[in-house]
């Protein structure tokens, strides 16, 4: 049984807490903060490492309750006092691991700390099986995380560095967000799934790669976007159907033919031409209501919440289930989970 802490997009605490026991064995959640969860599981660390909805996951070595006014220094000091440090690091480090670095994150910002106790800590770690400090290319990362509500954590990162692993194109959603949007829609193997504003295809590709489905339907208004997306779908053995359409008029779909719609419509900020969002959202939601089966679910990522919620009220067959307020690339947004009632 290992204890881990994982970071995730703030706003999704509930869906993560609900999903963990369905994926991992013997899960006990000991702390669920907005954006960070601490849990124990008997699952293999490789399985934990591969969880798609987390930004990063760490083996928990120490947890600090409300470290005082200088939390980083206090945490490093307490770790230095620990007689188990060498044993803990050796347990989770492979023999071939050589370069390591200590990373310090204060309220979600990585910071540099130059002081004697950090140097003393690095010197002590260097005595473990030939480990040496390598700030640019470390295969072992030891993280101190301090959060503004007063919790502090020290652990070994088991996920890969974000930049190597998760390169996305401009406007493309990150895989962890696409994964969470798919999860919110309660994926099922019988799903006829639609993303009518697919763009680079982050959502349908995540759905096709990591969840079961009967059929995936995707499309966009922009022909170049569709051509690029079609190339990415070739590797899938189960066909992903792609079309060009205006998502406010999905006449190629019958009434009540779709079980799930998960999508990221234009945000209305960057379009060259003016987009009348109240009209656009109302037409889109009316069309979603028409094509969704009864009890079908749609999850929609929206930045202009007030306009969207007004539009939603004008389509009585669609009922709001939940709203998760999040930040996407620093911009306020919300993931709406909506159910078709009749």
Residues of the shown chain interacting with ligand SAM in the complex, contacts defined by CB under 6 A:
171-173, 196-197, 199-200, 202-203, 220-222, 225, 246-248, 264-266
For ligand SAM, which is the closer residue by CB, 96 or 224?
224
For ligand SAM, which is the closer residue by CB, 56 or 263?
263
For ligand SAM, which is the closer residue by CB, 63 or 200?
200
For ligand SAM, which is the closer residue by CB, 83 or 223?
223
Length of the chain: 342
d(CA 72, CA 118): 10
CB of 326 to ligand SAM, least distance (A): 14
Written in H, E and C, the secondary structure of the chain is CEEEEEECCCCCHHHHHHHHHHHCCCCEEEEEECCEEEEEECCCHHHHHCCCCCCEEEEEEEEEECCCCCHHHHHHHHHHHCCCHHHHHHHCCCCCCCEEEEEEEECCEEECCCCHHHHHHHHHHHCCCCCEECCCCCCEEEEEEECCCCEEEEEEECCCCHHHHCCCCCCCCCHHHHHHHHHHCCCCCCCEEEECCCCCCHHHHHHHHHCCCCEEEEEECCHHHHHHHHHHHCCCCCCEEEEECCCCCCCCCCCCCEEEEEECCCCCCCCCCCCCHHHHHHHHHHHHHHHEEEEEEEEEEECCHHHHHHHHHCCCCEEEEEEEEEEECCEEEEEEEEEECC
CB of 301 to ligand SAM, least distance (A): 8
CB of 257 to ligand SAM, least distance (A): 18
For ligand SAM, which is the closer residue by CB, 39 or 229?
229
For ligand SAM, which is the closer residue by CB, 34 or 246?
246
For ligand SAM, which is the closer residue by CB, 99 or 266?
266
CB of 200 to ligand SAM, least distance (A): 3
For ligand SAM, which is the closer residue by CB, 214 or 244?
244
CB of 305 to ligand SAM, least distance (A): 16
CB of 231 to ligand SAM, least distance (A): 14
CB contact at 8 A, 123 and 86: no
Tell me which residue has its CB nearest to ligand SAM: 199
CB of 37 to ligand SAM, least distance (A): 25
d(CA 197, CA 183): 18
CB of 3 to ligand SAM, least distance (A): 34
d(CA 290, CA 14): 29
């Amino acid at each position: 049984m290992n204890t881990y802490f994982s970071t995730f997009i703030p706003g999704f605490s509930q869906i993560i807490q609900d999903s963990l026991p369905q994926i991992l064995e013997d899960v006990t959640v000991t702390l669920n903060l907005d954006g960070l969860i601490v849990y124990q599981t008997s699952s293999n660390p490789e399985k934990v490492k591969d969880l798609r909805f987390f930004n990063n996951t760490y083996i928990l070595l120490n947890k600090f309750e409300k470290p005082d006014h200088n939390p980083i220094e206090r945490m490093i000091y307490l770790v230095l006092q620990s007689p188990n440090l060498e044993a803990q690091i050796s347990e989770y480090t492979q023999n071939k691991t050589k370069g390591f670095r200590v990373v310090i994150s204060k309220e979600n910002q990585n910071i540099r700390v130059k002081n004697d106790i950090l140097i003393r800590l690095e010197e002590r770690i260097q005595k473990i099986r030939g480990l040496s400090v390598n700030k640019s290319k470390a295969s072992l990362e030891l993280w101190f995380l301090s959060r503004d509500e007063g919790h502090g954590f020290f652990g070994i990162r088991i996920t890969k560095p974000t930049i190597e692993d998760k390169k996305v194109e401009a406007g493309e959603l990150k895989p962890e967000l696409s994964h969470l949007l798919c999860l919110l829609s309660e994926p099922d193997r019988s799903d006829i799934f639609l993303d009518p504003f697919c763009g680079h295809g982050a959502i349908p590709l995540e759905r096709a790669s990591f969840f079961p489905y009967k059929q995936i339907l995707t499309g966009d208004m922009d022909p170049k976007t569709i051509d690029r997306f079609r190339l990415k779908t070739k590797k899938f053995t189960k066909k992903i159907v792609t079309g060009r359409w205006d998502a406010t008029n999905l006449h190629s779909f019958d009434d009540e033919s779709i079980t799930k719609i998960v999508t990221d419509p234009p945000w209305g900020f960057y379009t060259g031409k003016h987009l009348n969002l109240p009209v656009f959202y109302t037409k889109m939601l009316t069309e979603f209501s028409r094509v969704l089966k009864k009890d079908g679910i749609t999850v929609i990522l929206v930045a202009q919440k007030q306009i969207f919620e007004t539009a939603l009220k004008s389509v009585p067959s669609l009922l709001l289930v939940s709203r998760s307020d999040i930040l996407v690339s620093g911009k306020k947004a919300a993931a709406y989970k909506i159910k078709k009632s009749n």
